[in-house]
């Protein structure tokens, strides 16, 4: 699995962090997404897909 984020699209809602904090974080100054792990383990795959699905800005990309 390969994860990408588009910080230009991100609106800082934080839903990704709530879904899988092991992979996503937010910048302190503006809440924009920070990708912590671009290749998460298989155990996190379902949660990463959920984070991408619930992102209101569609700023998260997932490739299997």
Look up the CATH number of the domain holding residue 42: 3.30.70.20
Q: Whole domain around residue 37: which residue ranges?
A: 2-63
pLDDT in tens, 4-15: 999 999 999 999
Q: What is the pLDDT of residues 16-42, one digit of tens each?
A: 999 999 999 999 999 999 999 999 999
If one counts the domains in the chain, the total is 1
Q: What share of the chain is helix, strand, coil (3-state, %, to 5)?
A: 30, 20, 50
Task: Decide the pairing of beta strands 33-35 and 2-5.
Answer: unpaired
**Structure confidence at residue 7 (pLDDT):** 98
pTM: predicted TM-score of the whole model, two decimal places? 0.95
Please count the residues of the chain.
Answer: 64
For residues 1 and 31, what is the distance between their CA atoms, to the nearest angstrom?
25
Contacts for 62 with CB less than 8 Å, ≥ 6 apart? 1, 2, 3, 4, 48, 49, 52
What is the average pLDDT across 36-61?
Answer: 98
């Amino acid at each position: 699995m390969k994860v990408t984020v588009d910080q230009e699209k991100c609106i800082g809602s934080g839903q990704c962090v709530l879904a899988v904090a092991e992979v996503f974080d937010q910048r302190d100054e503006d809440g924009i997404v920070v990708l912590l792990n671009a290749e998460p383990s298989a155990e996190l795959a379902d949660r990463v897909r959920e984070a991408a699905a619930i992102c209101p800005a569609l700023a998260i990309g997932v490739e299997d």
